[in-house]
Amino acid sequence: MQEFQQYIDGAFSDGASQFESLDPATGRPWALMPEARRADVNRAVDAAHHAFHAPEWAGMTASQRGKLLMRLADLVAEHAPRLAALETRDTGKIIRETSAQIAYVAEYYRYYAGLADKIEGAHLPIDKPDMEVWLRREPIGVVAAIVPWNSQLFLSAVKIGPALAAGCTVVLKASEEAPAPLLEFARIFDQAGFPKGVLNVITGFAEECGSVLTRHPDVAHVAFTGGPETARHIVRNSAENLASTSLELGGKSPFIVFEDANIESAVNAQISGIFAASGQSCVAGSRLIVQNTIKDAFLGRLREKAEAVVIGAPDDMATEVGPLCTARQIEHAQRLIADSLEQGARLVTGGQPLDRAGFFFPPTVLDCSDAPQAPCVQREFFGPVLSAVGFDTEAEALQLANATEFGLAAGLFTRDLTRTHRMIRNIRSGVVWVNTYRAVSPIAPFGGHGLSGHGREGGLAAALDYTTVKTVWLRTSDDPIPDPFVMR
Ligand code: NAD
């Protein structure tokens, strides 16, 4: 079996122990991963803390940081095929998707490379004579970056890029479910020429690794992507070190289709919106809200497309839907579907795991028009399961769209301009895609509210999250400061 190592203070080492990672396409172990426990986590934070203050990093100009990030971007682009193959192997995400996504990850590093020397302070027109007052934007400190197993090269780039651009140092915790791509990324990072300790990459389990990391007194900010339950633990732990947090959590994103939409576009966007990455995506458009006048025809088209999808080995370029990452998700899907059917949902297609080795579940569609409270409409589920609900009026569509505790993304398909604007204004979500879905860019901030978390990744706003403001007051008069005890 292939063996991986952790990356601490510029050196590769074994963890406290090893654990197996499973290949989702076969269900069998394929690699041994280094498990970080308390001592490794402490070592990683110490290294990041030391690097944060050391002149090699703290004394570097922002432009020099930008150059290093640019070098990293080039290395990621150069090694993208290797990283994509590893992500496919460890997570089961199909090679078509990992290849495209990781090639684009390099663009995120490029964007933040360019931004490094554009994070500016400000000068204040202060209301006092003989005073200069300005704001310095300073790096916030050591960042704990914690990511889930899906799209982890992407989800870590949107943290590492802005954090390093701002001058922070990072301890990155890869998910224990599939850490291979990030442990390999550490080897690529090592070639970029950053001072040691600027980035440390470890992996491990919730308590002995994750909790120890987020509670560490030298961690200033926790940048987390994952589920709401884990986020609650992290926020509770941040009561210990009072670290700030940015939380990118789950979603139950509405995909709203009006009868005047370009139906071909809407069908294709819905298929990729829910079945890309086998539905294991925070922005999956998992709640179809479709006008009743076109509902049956629309579901018919979805069914045809879903049943024609090529399910197969994730490393085959012809595969369109691969396995889920873990066996647990198959059990979860079966329970969710059974409970929803019991509550009145109607199965349109799919619904049963495939009879083959590995964690395969077919594209599944449920018509929940008579069961809007069914669990598959309400709960986030990381898998290829779409629930559909019909509506008659715009008000009803909006009410259904907002009937969730999440607020990450929303899709809207219509050609009516004024309705588009009304819907955009009233939908509660961090991102609205109109007549498109899933578009992302380093230039555009991304994030949610409610149970989908807070903070934004991407764009300038994300880099500012990794800074703190220092207000400087400078008296410009050479006259002595008057004696405060002499009355005037
Ligand atoms: P998860 O919350 O179980 O795990 C995420 C990470 O947190 C893992 O590295 C895990 O080891 C770590 N962790 C677990 N317990 C911890 C603790 N007590 N302290 C610190 N770290 C801890 O999530 P998952 O099941 O791996 O991923 C799926 C979730 O991620 C879904 O809810 C999905 O929507 C969400 N997600 C959100 C986005 C986004 O950008 N909004 C993107 C991808 C995934």
Residue whose CA lies nearest to ligand 1 atom number 43? 282
Q: How far is the CA of 235 from the centre of ligand 1 (A)?
A: 13
The pLDDT tens digits of the residues spanning 292-344 come to 999 999 999 999 999 999 999 999 999 999 999 888 889 999 999 999 999 99
Residue whose CA lies nearest to ligand 1 atom number 10? 175
Residue 447: which of 455, 459, 438 has the closest Cα? 455
Residue 488 has pLDDT above 80, yes or no: no
Q: How far is the CA of 366 from the centre of ligand 1 (A)?
A: 26
The pLDDT tens digits of the residues spanning 412-449 come to 999 999 999 999 999 999 999 999 999 999 999 999 99
**Ligand 1 pocket: which residues have CB below 6 Å?**
146-150, 155, 173, 175-177, 206, 210-211, 214, 225-227, 230, 233-234, 248-251, 282, 380, 382, 408
Q: How far is the CA of 227 from the centre of ligand 1 (A)?
A: 5
Residue 487 has pLDDT above 90, yes or no: no
Residue whose CA lies nearest to ligand 1 atom number 23? 226
Q: How far is the CA of 66 from the centre of ligand 1 (A)?
A: 29
Domains of the chain: 2-249+448-473 (3.40.605.10), 254-434 (3.40.309.10)
Task: DSSP for 129-195, please give it.
Answer: TTEEEEEEEEE--EEEEE--STTHHHHHHHHHHHHHHHT-EEEEEE-TTS-HHHHHHHHHHHTTTPP
Let me know how long the chain is. Answer: 488
Query: Torsion-angle region of residue 369: left (phi > 0), alpha (psi -120 to 50) or beta?
Result: alpha
The rounded distance, in Å, linking the Cα atoms of 219 and 216 is 6
Q: How far is the CA of 108 from the centre of ligand 1 (A)?
A: 21
Residue 224 has pLDDT above 80, yes or no: yes
Please pick, among 282, 325, 368, 376, the residue that the annotation labels catalytic: 282
The pLDDT tens digits of the residues spanning 327-337 come to 888 999 999 99
Three-state secondary-structure class, residue 220: strand
Alpha-carbon distance values, 438 to 77, 346, 488 (Å) = 22, 27, 67
pLDDT of residue 158: 98
Alpha-carbon distance values, 477 to 106, 128, 132, 480 (Å) = 50, 12, 10, 8
Please pick, among 35, 87, 97, 248, the residue that the annotation labels catalytic: 248
The yes-or-no answer on residue 282 being catalytic is yes
* Dihedral of the alpha carbons of 68, 69, 71, 77, in degrees to the nearest 10: 170
> What are the tokens at 112?
């933040």
- Out of 101, 143, 225, mutate this one to test ligand 1's pocket (max ligand atoms within 8 Å of CB): namely 225
The pLDDT tens digits of the residues spanning 30-57 come to 999 999 999 999 999 999 999 999 999 9
Residue 305 identity (one-letter amino acid): K
Residue indicated by tokens 């490029």: 110
Residue whose CA lies nearest to ligand 1 atom number 6? 148
Residue 42: which of 179, 236, 216 has the closest Cα? 216
pTM over 0.85: yes
